[in-house]
Amino acid sequence: MKNYKVGIIGATGMVGQRFATLLENHPWFTVTALAASKRSAGKTYKECVESRWAMTTPIPKAMEDMIILDAANVEEVASKVDFVFCAVDMPKDQIRELEEAYAKAECPVVSNNSAHRHTPDVPMVIPEINADHIKIIDSQRKRLGTKKGFVAVKSNCSLQSYVPAVHPLRELGCNKVLACTYQAISGAGKTFERWPEMVDNLIPYIGGEEEKSEKEPLKIWGHIEGDQIVDTDDIAITSQCLRVPVSDGHTAAVFVSFDGEVPSEEKIIETWENYKGRAQELELPSAPKQFLHYFTEPDQPQIKTARTLEHGMAISIGRLRPDTQYDMKFVCMSHNTLRGAAGGAVLLAELLCAEGYIEN
Ligand code: NAP
């Protein structure tokens, strides 16, 4: 039976709360340290989050009376855990410094932050897609001079709506993608109470999101060359990202073209339904049994069905049909705060434990 002591850096924030909730009854992970800024340090978790608890389930009982540590006291936090999850709202250069300080204290970091996504020896992993990238950790450890410590990150939540569906199509020759994303307000850390302008509204701009949606997949589909991950250059992606009045769940309308013969609709659906990644092979606790689900009804998937499918960790796809400009088009959906954020990071941590990169 695996049992790891886990810390949450940024435990008081929106993503930190989600980690606390997901880890409450986790079969492998026990939360032994909660950390945040100096403003929270010394107070109990309950005192810090009671007035800003944003989850639908209560504050985990076992964490209510835990004393928040100052995340800057790296040695103290690291001494209490086998690894940490990190989700902090700080300038990017400070996040990079903080995460490397934990790694250098021999404490692995599984990060929700974007600061290290393009560091060439930091793996950015969707466990069903590029689990093999965790091998780059050996090179990162050499650079940092560590035996156990390293940083691994999850990708942006927007692309996790469509990259999983496109991934198996690459084997069938998919080399061109146009993706329009329709993103929930929780992706901006908001609720309708806290963002009343979003009720009955749509905003056609999410700062930096289109760049991330086009660039991050190239690293995910990249390969290890020497001591770095090199982006792929065999697929072209363009995207538009819109904010829509939905609480949780990102949608993508996707158009794809293929190099050579266009596969039939039956072949594509069969490819999706049979796809298994490393997370399924290892039967990781947070992995969906089936990663990609195809819905045949013309009015499915809807965000309400997609949100609850396999505890918010599977991808819902529907409306596959030929297109006049591209070869095929379809829609897909994923839960942005579960699969796209904290849930994806927990799954990544499970992969790193199962593959021996995190030890207890
Ligand atoms: P948040 O609700 O504002 O929480 C920020 C957390 O960072 C709090 O725990 C805060 O502690 C801590 N913090 C702030 N300054 C700190 C410092 N100097 N030292 C240590 N801890 C510090 O932010 P969030 O929405 O959870 O986002 C966290 C990270 O996830 C960010 O990098 C964000 O870009 C990313 N992200 C969030 C979402 C989302 O859906 N919310 C989606 C994608 C990515 P105090 O309570 O003590 O201030």
> Which residue from 12, 47, 77, 88 has its CB within 8 A of the most atoms of ligand 1, so it is best to mutate?
88
Average pLDDT over residues 163-178: 98
Better-predicted residue by pLDDT, 189 or 122: 122
- Please confirm whether the linkage preceding 301 is cis (ω < 30° from 0): yes
Average pLDDT over residues 46-62: 95
Mean pLDDT of all residues in the chain? 97
Q: How many residues does the chain have?
A: 360
- Give the integer Cα–Cα distance in Å for 45 and 63: 7
309: phi then psi, degrees, rounded to nearest 5: -60, 125
283 pLDDT more than 90 = yes
Q: Which residue in 321, 346, 322 sits closest to 335, CA to CA?
A: 346
Confirm or reject: Cβ of 115 under 6 Å from ligand 1. no
1 pLDDT more than 80 = no
The pLDDT value given to residue 65? 98
Residue nearest to atom 42 of ligand 1 (CA): 187
Q: Check if the beta carbon of residue 106 is closer than 8 Å to that of residue 135.
A: no
Q: Check if the beta carbon of residue 60 is closer than 8 Å to that of residue 34.
A: no
* pTM to 2 decimal places: 0.97
Beta bridge partners of 242: 182
- Measured in Å, residue 25 CA sits from the centre of ligand 1 at 23
Average pLDDT over residues 202-218: 97
- Give the integer Cα–Cα distance in Å for 49 and 222: 40
Confirm or reject: Cβ of 12 under 6 Å from ligand 1. yes
Q: Which residue in 111, 104, 200 sits closest to 143, CA to CA?
A: 104
Residue among 133, 167, 250, 335 flagged as catalytic:
250
Q: For residue range 293-331, what is the model confidence (pLDDT) as tens digits?
A: 999 999 999 999 999 999 999 999 999 999 999 999 999
| Domain ranges for the chain | 4-156+342-354, 158-334
Q: What is the DSSP letter of 264?
A: P
What does the block give as tokens for 133?
A: 């990238």
Catalytic residue status for 133 = no
Three-state DSSP class for residue 231: coil
- Give the integer Cα–Cα distance in Å for 9 and 167: 32
Q: Which residues contact 50 (CB under 8 A, 6 or more apart)?
A: 59
Average pLDDT over residues 111-139: 98
The pLDDT value given to residue 2? 83
Average pLDDT over residues 214-218: 97
Average pLDDT over residues 184-197: 94
- Give the integer Cα–Cα distance in Å for 327 and 263: 9
Beta bridge partners of 236: 176
Q: For residue range 72-83, what is the model confidence (pLDDT) as tens digits?
A: 999 999 999 999
Beta bridge partners of 70: 36
Confirm or reject: Cβ of 189 under 6 Å from ligand 1. yes
Secondary structure (DSSP) of 247-259: SS-EEEEEEEEES
Confirm or reject: Cβ of 55 under 6 Å from ligand 1. no
Burial 325-336 (b: 16+ CB within 10 A, else e): ebbbbbbbbbbb
pLDDT band at 246 (very low <50, low <70, confident <90, very high): very high
The pLDDT value given to residue 307? 95
> Which residue from 8, 17, 37, 63 has its CB within 8 A of the most atoms of ligand 1, so it is best to mutate?
37
Confirm or reject: Cβ of 90 under 6 Å from ligand 1. yes
In the CATH scheme, what architecture does the domain 158-334 have?
2-Layer Sandwich (3.30)
Secondary structure (DSSP) of 278-300: HHHHTT-TTS-SSSEEEE-STT-
Residue nearest to atom 43 of ligand 1 (CA): 187
The pLDDT value given to residue 200? 98
Residue among 86, 107, 157, 174 flagged as catalytic:
157
Confirm or reject: Cβ of 140 under 6 Å from ligand 1. no
Three-state DSSP class for residue 86: strand
Average pLDDT over residues 123-133: 98
User: Could you tell me which CATH class the domain 4-156+342-354 is placed in?
Assistant: alpha beta
Q: For residue range 63-119, what is the model confidence (pLDDT) as tens digits?
A: 999 999 999 999 999 999 999 999 999 999 999 999 999 999 999 999 999 999 999
- Give the integer Cα–Cα distance in Å for 241 and 193: 23
Catalytic residue status for 157 = yes
Average pLDDT over residues 129-133: 98
Confirm or reject: Cβ of 146 under 6 Å from ligand 1. no
Confirm or reject: Cβ of 186 under 6 Å from ligand 1. yes
Atom of ligand 1 nearest to the CA of 114: 32
> Which residue from 51, 73, 89, 206 has its CB within 8 A of the most atoms of ligand 1, so it is best to mutate?
89
